[in-house]
Amino acid sequence: MAPRSFWKGYLKLSLVTCPVAMTPATTENEKVRFHTLNRKTGNRVVSQYVDAVSGKSVDEDDEVKGYQRGEDDFVLLEDEELEAVGLESTRTIDIDMFVEADSIRWIWYDKPHYLVPDDPVGEEAFSVIRDAMASTGTVGISRLVMYRRERAVMLEPRGKGIVLWTLRYGDEVRKPEEFFRNIDDGDTDPELMRLVTTLIEERSKPWDPDMVGDPVQARLLDIISAKKKGRKRPAKAKAEEAERPSNVVNIMDALRKSISSEKKKKPKA
């Protein structure tokens, strides 16, 4: 059974509108989660806001957002003021513009969501917007209130549906030039390139989601399962800190040894 949509609204392009539903493309439902308990009573521990000076708890009605402009000096903003600067509609994805699909670099992508038509009557409008983007090699750009913040979003045609990506804010992305400018951009030794390419070919495999499995979570589930059955599973010894690799004096020799090692690992036909 498909998961329930967490957002319903409308997809709009000029005068064309259709009802849509959206669901996050990723999930953390299977992640092992823990509660913090009081060891003495076994009761859950709850968190609360406390005044940093008086040490007294703060009632929810007295909580207010503040922008720091100096030491112990804040500009207070009420909820009504914060809401006033947001979008008028939080339920319409109004496509403002289109850009070439490959012009937005991966670093701007934040969270993916599946967007689907939510009404058979509006399915034709949804499909024509999707197919037109696919045929022109473009993606749509809009804005939407999600996760309590107004966000720029990108609509990408994908198969029968549309993937809606929230995009990172402009001030969140650092320029790569700041970090890569001092890396030598001289020509690479062709023989070294050949050897590394051989290593890549030796280690190439078809993509499989199991490649990004979470071994730590698997071990946690083993521990939890053992405790449920009344067995105490001994904790795994802490891994020793990895030794710092010695400087490679001869890269060519190291690569040749690596390739030789890879060939020995391969099962004989």
Distances (CA, A) of 91 to 78, 112, 145, 150: 23, 18, 8, 12
**One pLDDT digit (tens) per residue for the chain, 269 residues:** 566 778 999 999 999 999 999 999 988 877 888 889 999 999 999 888 999 899 999 998 999 999 998 888 999 988 888 777 766 667 899 999 999 999 999 999 999 999 999 999 899 999 999 999 999 999 999 999 887 788 899 999 999 999 999 999 888 999 988 898 888 888 888 888 888 888 888 888 898 888 777 777 778 878 888 877 877 655 555 555 656 666 555 777 887 888 887 777 776 65
Which amino acid, residue 93? I
Four-way CATH pick for 7-27+86-167: 2.60.120.1440, 3.40.50.720, 2.40.290.10, 1.10.540.10: 2.40.290.10
Question: Domain-by-domain residue ranges, the chain?
Answer: 7-27+86-167
Least Cα distance to 92 among 160, 14, 27 occurs for: 14
* Alpha-helical segments (H) within the chain: 79-84, 123-136, 177-180, 190-203, 215-228, 251-265
What is the 8-class DSSP label of residue 15?
A: T
pLDDT of residue 163: 98
